[in-house]
Amino acid sequence: MTSQQTFPISWFDVPDEPLTGRWREHELTRVLWPINARPVDLDGDGDPDVVGGSTGEGRIFWFENVTPLGGPIRFVEHPIRVAGSTMAEAARRPPHAAATGALLNGFNMGFADLDGDGRLDLVAMVYSRHLVWLRQPPAPDQPWRLAPIGTQLPDNLVGFELADIDGDGDLDVMGGSYSRGPRDVDLPDDTPLGRISWFENPGVSRAGQERWRQHTIVRRQRGMYDKFVARDVDGDGDQDFLATRGNSYPYDGVFWLEQVRHDTPRRRFAAARSQDSRSLPVPPDS
């Protein structure tokens, strides 16, 4: 990829015969290194919009569905201008990113009305360091205000899922980090490792600066936790999670986290394997 080469974000017409027919591509835009595009009714008008991200530019944006009744499908692009900071802007910036401001690429995104104002807000990562939520403004030309959720530093948080983990009626966040380095070799203990933890929603207000408490479940060598799906897998009424693990040979694969509640204190995590990569404590102040 050259410094100026761009790639499309598109939607596709499904043919009558999806397996053998030709899917017609409709290009929405072209960006440097597109990383994600999610259909979601962001403006709440009943039709699907699209939220996308560019790693090469460190920005996210959305396409408003303005299709007239009975007319051809049309989208209008809107930037997601972020007001606020996580103090992570000193990190190395992509060559084509803005000189200042939060760097978001939308690799993983979540959507929920966190502040109860009737509009979907957006949860995203500021370049694998800080998990944040962005309050959707009343109008597309207004900035989205950033509020922090948490971080897994020194580990690099990547995957996350919104769910009511503690059963109190609001949405918490389950998150997982990437370890770095070879798949089959342990790294020094002070390098980014694989961690699973969840962030407890404090009851978000319009101010948006409340502290989300982090609860670490496990931290291991050779763990890459990049996707979580919330499901009550065992049907016992509480929230479990299906998840993926990579970069952890020979332990890669799909697993599930069973939430187990007790009346008395117990260990917060019980491993399913008798052999696994080495477990490590959470660093102080993390």
Position 1 scores a pLDDT of 44
pLDDT over 80 at 7, yes or no: yes
- Measure Cα distances from 139 to 64, 80, 143, 199 in Å: 12, 11, 9, 29
Range of the domain at 53: 1-150
Q: What is the chain's mean pLDDT, rounded?
A: 89
Position 74 scores a pLDDT of 97
Do residues 157 and 151 lie in contact, with contact meaning Cβ atoms separated by under 8 Å? yes
Same domain, 187 and 139: no
Query: Side chain identity at 127, as an amino acid letter?
Result: Y
Percent share of the chain, pLDDT over 90:
63
Do residues 242 and 256 lie in contact, with contact meaning Cβ atoms separated by under 8 Å? yes
pLDDT over 70 at 120, yes or no: yes
Give the domain-ending residue among 92, 121, 150: 150
Same domain, 176 and 140: no
Same domain, 87 and 225: no
Same domain, 158 and 74: no
Which neighbouring-strand residues pair with 213? Answer: 200
3-state DSSP assignment of residue 126:
strand
Q: Which two tokens stand for residue 162?
A: 């919104």
Do residues 210 and 142 lie in contact, with contact meaning Cβ atoms separated by under 8 Å? no
> CA nearest 193: which of 231, 167, 219, 158?
219
Same domain, 29 and 67: yes
pLDDT in tens, 23-76: 999 999 999 999 999 999 999 999 999 999 999 888 999 999 999 999 999 999
Same domain, 122 and 229: no
Same domain, 110 and 174: no
3-state DSSP assignment of residue 176:
strand
pLDDT over 60 at 89, yes or no: no
Ramachandran angles phi, psi of 66, nearest 5°: -115, 30
Do residues 199 and 150 lie in contact, with contact meaning Cβ atoms separated by under 8 Å? yes
Q: Please give the tally of structural domains in the chain.
A: 2
Position 286 scores a pLDDT of 65
Position 186 scores a pLDDT of 84
pLDDT over 60 at 11, yes or no: yes
pLDDT over 80 at 268, yes or no: no
Position 88 scores a pLDDT of 54
Same domain, 66 and 183: no
3-state DSSP assignment of residue 21:
coil
